[in-house]
Amino acid sequence: MPILLIVFLLYASTVLADERLGLPAIAVPQDKALIQLGKDVFNDTHFSANNTISCASCHAPEKAFTDQRATAKGIYGQIGNRNAPTLLNVAFFKQFFHDGRANSLEQQALGPLLNPVEHGLESPEYIEQIIQQNPDYVHRFSQVFNIDKDDIRAEHLAKVIAAYERTLIAGNSAFDQYYFGRDRSKLSKSAARGLLIFRRKGNCANCHEISMNDALFTDNRFYNLGQGFEKMEAILPNFIAAIKQGQNPDDFPLTAEQRAELGRFNVTHALQDIGKFKTPTLRNIALTAPYMHDGSIKTLEEVVDYYDKGGHKNPYLDSAIYPLHLSAQEKADLVAFMRALTSEQESAAEPVQE
Ligand code: HEC
Ligand code: HEC
């Protein structure tokens, strides 16, 4: 091998290792044309009923791929019931949405396009028409997938979007440099104490996992913390009685807001999943306020207070949520730790280019 090539490969591997420090190894799409097509579609408002909404409307690259609203605002200004999560590091997740109702990024991507409250498109055929009306897209989709113009399907759109999303990788936070890079200068004393509280007294790592060689800060599981559950409380006994008697939960009269609070139950129809939501990653958490599935908590300080008081009591509250009795200093330390989970700006804002 020519010496220059070896030097280049060594250089490339250290750069990559850095950007991904603290993240598990994963195959990132390499095909530049495919990724660029996904990025263009992601930012294109033509894929909405009135040409006003793109994926980036709610997952804005300059806002760490969120909209910084409590709940998302879609087409014709319609407000949804859920907080838009960041797309940074979605490549590592196994289930998508707060209730885990999609199992792959490809499956997920068509959801918002066809959702009447989001992009508001009528059908996959309608998506295909939008592509066909744009000669540049027709050309690029045919090339990328090596198919005839007439064979371009909505699934191809899902594939390019998913490929782009898989490049949104952001590791190498101060925490990663401290913990995995063993550079003790990277965390303040307060943040370092916060890490200990996160793992022990706070019991946070029980769900927001830190592994031996990497940390996704999620266990990909679902828990009831009680957040937002008060909206369901009045109706809960009747609801449970009806389900136990065999009524189809979809037929039970609930407002859209109440139904959204059922969480994982909406996917499994198992009573023990009532009010459960997916453990979100905490990477880049300082950039993605407000918090929780309904965006109801505004600051990290308030999140810590919420855990400290033991969540919101309800019959389905998880047993790992209990009063923590943290001192003011311990609370501040936990917040300082979470603020150290922000990736270096370049990798957080831009997809990894190879
Ligand atoms: C109107 C705002 C809005 C638009 C437009 C939108 N999203 Fe979302 N997105 C959300 C909300 C809200 C959620 C959470 C919904 C839920 O959990 O029920 C979400 C969830 C997701 C998730 C799951 C992330 C996770 O961690 O589980 C992905 C991936 C995603 N969106 C990608 C996209 C793509 C791709 C597009 C464009 C095709 C798009 N979104 C358009 C608001 C939006
Ligand atoms: C029993 C599992 C569990 C434990 C223990 C736990 N969390 Fe969570 N965490 C979750 C789940 C599930 C959510 C999402 C809840 C929702 O959306 O309503 C969440 C949400 C969060 C959020 C908001 C994330 C976002 O993107 O909106 C933060 C911040 C957070 N947790 C920090 C902590 C801290 C700090 C601790 C320890 C004091 C902790 N968590 C303990 C499961 C847990």
Residue 230 Cα to ligand 1 middle (Å): 25
Average pLDDT over residues 293-321: 96
Confidence of residue 3 (pLDDT cuts 50, 70, 90): low
Q: Is the pLDDT of residue 232 over 90?
A: no
**Closest residue to atom 19 of ligand 1, CA basis:** 84
Classify burial at 8, counting beta carbons within 10 Å of its beta carbon; exposed 0-12, middle 13-18, buried 19 or more.
exposed
Q: How many CB atoms lie under 10 A from the CB of residue 142?
A: 16
pLDDT band for position 2 (50/70/90)? Answer: low
Q: Which residues line ligand 2 (CB under 6 A)?
A: 98, 202-204, 206-208, 223, 225, 227, 277, 279-280, 282, 285, 288, 291-293, 300, 303-304, 307, 318, 320-321, 334
d(C-alpha 146, C-alpha 351), whole Å: 25
Greater model confidence, 87 or 15: 87
What local confidence, expressed as pLDDT, does residue 73 receive? 81
Distant-in-sequence contacts of 287-290, Cβ < 8 A, 24+ apart: 287/63, 287/64, 287/66, 287/86, 287/342, 287/348, 288/64, 288/66, 288/68, 288/85, 288/86, 289/68, 290/68, 290/69, 290/70, 290/83
Lowest-pLDDT range of 3-12, 41-50, 259-268, 342-351? 3-12
User: Ligand 1: which residue has its CA nearest to atom 21?
Assistant: 97
pLDDT at position 80: 83
Mean pLDDT of 108-118: 87
**Ligand 1 pocket residues where CB is under 6 Å:** 53, 55, 57-59, 72, 74, 80, 82, 84-85, 87, 90, 93, 96-98, 105, 108-109, 112-113, 118-119, 161, 165
Spacing, Cα 117 to ligand 2 middle (Å): 27
pLDDT of residue 352: 40
**Sorting pLDDT into bands at 50, 70 and 90, what band is 111?**
confident
Ligand that comes closest to the CA of residue 195: 2
> Buried b vs exposed e over 257-272: b needs ≥16 C-beta within 10 Å?
ebbbbbbbbbbbeeee
**What was the pLDDT predicted at 1?**
53
Tokens of 35: 């990724």
Q: How far apart are CA 253 and CA 304, in angstroms?
A: 35
pLDDT at 207 over 90: yes
The pLDDT score that the predictor gives to residue 186 is 96
Rg, Å, the chain Cα set: 22
The residue nearest atom 3 of ligand 1, judged by CA position, is 58
Asked if pLDDT for residue 351 goes beyond 80, the answer is no
154 Cα–ligand 1 center, Å: 17
Stretch 50-75: mean pLDDT, rounded? Answer: 90
What pLDDT, in 10s, does the model give residues 35-59?
999 999 999 999 998 888 999 999 9
Q: Which atom of ligand 2 is nearest to the CA of 318?
A: 1
Highest-pLDDT range among 6-15, 248-257, 272-281, 345-354: 272-281
Determine the residue type at 282.
L
Mean pLDDT of the chain: 90
335: closest CA among 310, 288, 295, 299?
299
Residue 2, preceding peptide bond in cis (omega within 30° of 0): no
CB neighbours of residue 343 within 10 Å: 27
Mean pLDDT of 226-239: 90
Half-sphere exposure at residue 31, Cβ-oriented, CA atoms within 13 angstroms: 14
Question: Which long-range CB contacts under 8 A does 200-205 form with residues at least 24 apart?
Answer: 201/324, 201/326, 201/330, 202/307, 202/324, 202/326, 202/330, 202/334, 203/320, 203/324, 204/307, 204/334
- For residue range 161-201, what is the model confidence (pLDDT) as tens digits? 999 999 999 999 999 999 999 999 999 999 999 999 999 99
* pLDDT interval class at 233 (50, 70, 90): confident
135: how many CB neighbours lie within 10 A of its CB? 9
Q: Which residue has the tokens 């709940």?
A: 71
Cis ω on the peptide bond leading into residue 290 (within 30° of 0)?
yes
pLDDT band at 354 (very low <50, low <70, confident <90, very high): very low
State how far the Cα of 260 lies from the Cα of 264, in Å rounded to an integer: 9
pLDDT digits (tens, 9 = 90+) for 246-303: 999 999 999 988 999 999 999 999 999 999 999 999 999 999 999 999 999 999 999 9
Residues 6+ apart with CB under 8 A from 149: 132, 138, 142
**Quick one: average pLDDT of 237-253?**
93
The residue whose CA has the least distance to atom 35 of ligand 1 is: 109
- Structure confidence at residue 353 as a pLDDT band (50, 70, 90): very low
The answer to which of 34-48, 68-82, 106-120, 270-284 has the lowest mean pLDDT is 68-82
Contact 209, 217 (CB under 8 A): yes
Q: Is there a contact between 197 and 330 (Cβ–Cβ < 8 Å)? A: yes
316-324 average pLDDT score? 96
Residues with Cβ within 8 Å of 133's Cβ and at least 6 positions away in sequence, in order, are: none
